[in-house]
Chain A
Amino acid sequence: MEEGSRQSFQPTPEELAHRLVGYEAEGSRGPEALIAKAEKAFDRLHTTLSVFLGSKGFESLWARAMLLAQQTLQAEGLEEGTALFTSPERWADAAGTRDAAQAHIILHAQFASFLSLLFTFIGEEIGLRLIRPALPDIPPHEEDSPTEDARL
């Protein structure tokens, strides 16, 4: 997308993923802090979107996104062991196989893949509106809902 073409703040899935599992290299620290952050982000997304999608609907969408993420990571030469990262239950175990920087790449790709898939189905604008409760720091859209006068 060309610079300046967005009328309001419309972060990309990658930018949103960065907000969810942002990582700053801090010396030789392991990936535990990152994993904890990712788990919280996952829980927030799950809680928020399950209202709309249902829990099973969310999990199904996540599973599909993980498959797509693995394909992306394979293209980047990181396919080995990435399957371990497909669900939060396995993240803690998987962390032992990667350093923090590699774990960040994988988790970032997974969250970006999930959001991208969500946006593919329902568009960026509605997708952002639905995940906003999970990401309260996203600036609101410029476009407001219709006024009261126009309706009931």
Chain B
Amino acid sequence: MSKKQQVAIRLLSTGVPGLDEVLGGGLPEYSFNFIAGTPGAGKTTLIHQIMFTLATPKHPALYFTVMGEPPLKILRHQQQMDFFESSMVGDSIHFIDLSEIVLEQGLGAALARIVQQVEERNPALVIVDSFQAIVRAATLKDHELDLQSFIQRLAIHLTNWQATTFLVGEPLSNNAQNSPLRTVADSIIELSQNIHRNSVVRKLQVVKVRGQAPMPGLHTFRISGAGLQIFPRIPATATQKHRARPHNRMATGVAGLDDLIGGGFPGGDAVIVSGPTGAGKSLLATQFIAAGAAVGETGVIAVFEEHPEEYVRRASELGIDLAEMERQNMLKVIYIRPLDLSPDETLHEIQAAVALIGARRVVIDSMTGFELALAPTFREDFRESLYRMVVALTGTGVTVLLTMEIQQSYTDLRISAYLISFLADTIILLRYAEVAGELRRNLSVIKMRNSAHSKGFTLYEITAQGMVVRHTLEMQPGSGIGSSATRERSRQPIYPGLTEEETVLLQALIKLGKAPLEGLAQRVGLPDGPLLRTALDRLVSLSYAIRLHDEVGTLYQPMAQLME
């Protein structure tokens, strides 16, 4: 059959955030569905949310209650939910109790009652809650109609009457009694809640959807006053497929650091900044965000350890006004610390913030706090969760910087306690080292995929203006980092008359050969501003470089040789 001859199956939007995505687009119209869940899992709320989304006076919903939660209590409780509209009750939504008919007259009479109501009211939605009561009734009495026939006739009749049907009940065991429903149902959605230590994690699984490709696996969800919200478990492979790497460099905002890493972090990279407490991880992250904001790149900071107000206050002490950035929609600081999160919920929060302001930079501060915020059950597969989250974010071209606290050891150069370096494109290790009798901070670029980078240990300082990279350390043969034998590289100027910044600029120009101002700015990680222009003027005036003018604009060409 050609495509043109196929019947298009309309998909109904359930109104439950995330569920349509998990179902593979929505619920097929006229489908016969089973919503299963343990008591308290949220199935009644889920079906009410769907019902209040889809029912109309012309296409009403019939809600048959069968020995489950008393209808009076269903209405009493469900009207607390935001989606509940009282005006729909008795108009678009009709509640009908079947308990007595099932108990006293059996399944045949119950089916007849359903059929009578369906033919009378012409519903678009039919719900039978709970199906488990039907199963029990079928086993308790010798009815003239067995369970299999009941399900079969119900499905046929309701489909013919163009009703989308939901049976609501407890999860199906694998016994033969349940096999008719497994066979007849077009979709099976299972809800569960798992208690691990003090946290409760709710999960949803689409076991089956006929004719569609649902998202596999267990998806976490949360129930609030707004109803259910599903956090689809995005497979890492799906996002990786679409990974589009930008080719630009993202200035780090740390003076001197960009020189060590070829001009900044490559766009779309995952960067881990690892180090002991007080090393300046959060500071580097904050400067990274501020550097982005300075060139119009929006950012998101996900704070897991300290309150955002404290985070913003500490940044302000260094002259970085995160609050103002937030006011200008250049930054979104999100605070996530409920201790029962799922990785997908966290990812959803971050992705929503990224989408809200079109962020190009994301800071997760810190991975240790993130792990603590997760429900214990997810900590077991923390690496996998983190991997999916990072891949999902970088897959859209966002550069992600993750901070990680480690305990410094003078004999162990481990960069993380989680063995997660595989997920990082770039790893910066911050450490303390003993230099000439002093404890000095130093950093090293452990890894940069597809990019040249400094291999040395470089001293940096935390100043009133933030983190500033200083000198590269030289190691005595056989000595380790932290040894008193470590010494700073000679401060003897190799280009007389030039400051350190001007030397860096000249070295960059020599490596580039000939470059416009913008190219140099990108290379050295400085903004195209007075500082850069003044430094170039100095290079020209001291004959380290010449200025050329051609049809494309102004270019700078080095006159000096590269000297290490």
Whole-angstrom distance between the Cβ of A142 and the nearest chain B Cβ: 9
Which residues of chain A have C-beta atoms less than 8 A from B92's C-beta? 145-146, 151
List A residues 26-74 near B (Cβ within 8 Å).
50-57, 61
Q: How far apart sit A74 and B86, CA to CA, in the bound complex (Å)?
A: 35
Q: How far apart sit A57 and B89, CA to CA, in the bound complex (Å)?
A: 19
Contact call B54/A152, Cβ cutoff below 8 A: yes
Check B278 for interface membership: any CB of A closer than 8 A. no
The segment out of B67-75, B374-382, B484-492 that lies at the interface is B67-75
Which residues of chain A have C-beta atoms less than 8 A from B96's C-beta? 51-52
Contact bitstring B54-75, A, C-beta under 8 A = 1, else 0: 1111110000010000111101
Supposing A123-B79, A130-B89, A148-B58 touch, asked if A54 and B99 sit within 8 A by C-beta, the answer is yes
Which residues of chain A have C-beta atoms less than 8 A from B124's C-beta? 152
Supposing A55-B100, A121-B76, A129-B90 touch, asked if A145 and B71 sit within 8 A by C-beta, the answer is no
Which residues of chain A have C-beta atoms less than 8 A from B72's C-beta? 53, 57, 61, 121-122
Contact bitstring A113-143, B, C-beta under 8 A = 1, else 0: 0000000011101100110100000000101
Which residues of chain B have C-beta atoms less than 8 A from A130's C-beta? 89-90
> Of B54, B56, B99, which contacts A145 at CB under 8 A?
B56
Contact call A57/B70, Cβ cutoff below 8 A: yes
Which residues of chain A have C-beta atoms less than 8 A from B59's C-beta? 148, 151-152
Most chain B beta carbons < 10 A, residue from A125, A146, A152: A152
Contact call B75/A145, Cβ cutoff below 8 A: no
Check A89 for interface membership: any CB of B closer than 8 A. no
Check B88 for interface membership: any CB of A closer than 8 A. yes
> Of B57, B79, B85, B100, which contacts A56 at CB under 8 A?
B100
Check A144 for interface membership: any CB of B closer than 8 A. yes
Which residues of chain B have C-beta atoms less than 8 A from A54's C-beta? 65, 71, 97, 99-100
Contact call A152/B56, Cβ cutoff below 8 A: yes
Whole-angstrom distance between the Cβ of B346 and the nearest chain A Cβ: 33
Whole-angstrom distance between the Cβ of A121 and the nearest chain B Cβ: 5
Contact call A53/B97, Cβ cutoff below 8 A: yes
Contact call B71/A57, Cβ cutoff below 8 A: yes
Q: How far apart sit A150 and B70, CA to CA, in the bound complex (Å)?
A: 30
Supposing A145-B91, A151-B54, A152-B54 touch, asked if A126 and B79 sit within 8 A by C-beta, the answer is yes
Check B12 for interface membership: any CB of A closer than 8 A. yes
> Of A50, A121, A145, which contacts B57 at CB under 8 A?
A145
Check B387 for interface membership: any CB of A closer than 8 A. no
Contact bitstring B343-366, A, C-beta under 8 A = 1, else 0: 000000000000000000000000
Most chain B beta carbons < 10 A, residue from A54, A56, A129, A150: A54
Contact call B86/A126, Cβ cutoff below 8 A: yes
Whole-angstrom distance between the Cβ of A84 and the nearest chain B Cβ: 28
B87 — nearest CB in chain A belongs to which residue? A143
Contact bitstring B27-44, A, C-beta under 8 A = 1, else 0: 000000000000000000
Which residues of chain A have C-beta atoms less than 8 A from B557's C-beta? none
Whole-angstrom distance between the Cβ of B238 and the nearest chain A Cβ: 31
Check B95 for interface membership: any CB of A closer than 8 A. yes
Check B53 for interface membership: any CB of A closer than 8 A. yes
Contact call A151/B55, Cβ cutoff below 8 A: yes
Which residues of chain B have C-beta atoms less than 8 A from A132's C-beta? 90
Contact call B97/A146, Cβ cutoff below 8 A: no
Contact call A129/B89, Cβ cutoff below 8 A: yes
Whole-angstrom distance between the Cβ of A113 and the nearest chain B Cβ: 16
Contact call B75/A126, Cβ cutoff below 8 A: yes
Q: Enumerate 30 A-B pairs (CB-CB under 8 Å) in ascending A order.
A: A52-B95, A52-B96, A52-B97, A54-B65, A54-B97, A54-B99, A54-B100, A55-B100, A61-B72, A122-B72, A122-B75, A122-B76, A126-B89, A126-B90, A129-B90, A129-B91, A130-B90, A132-B90, A141-B87, A143-B86, A145-B85, A146-B85, A146-B87, A146-B92, A147-B56, A148-B56, A148-B57, A151-B54, A151-B59, A152-B56
- A-to-B contact residues, CB < 8 Å: 50-57, 61, 121-123, 125-126, 129-130, 132, 141, 143-148, 150-152
Additional A-B contacts beyond A53-B97, A126-B79, A152-B124 (18; CB < 8 A): A54-B100, A57-B97, A121-B72, A121-B75, A121-B76, A122-B72, A122-B76, A122-B79, A126-B86, A129-B89, A130-B90, A143-B86, A143-B87, A148-B57, A148-B59, A150-B56, A151-B59, A152-B54
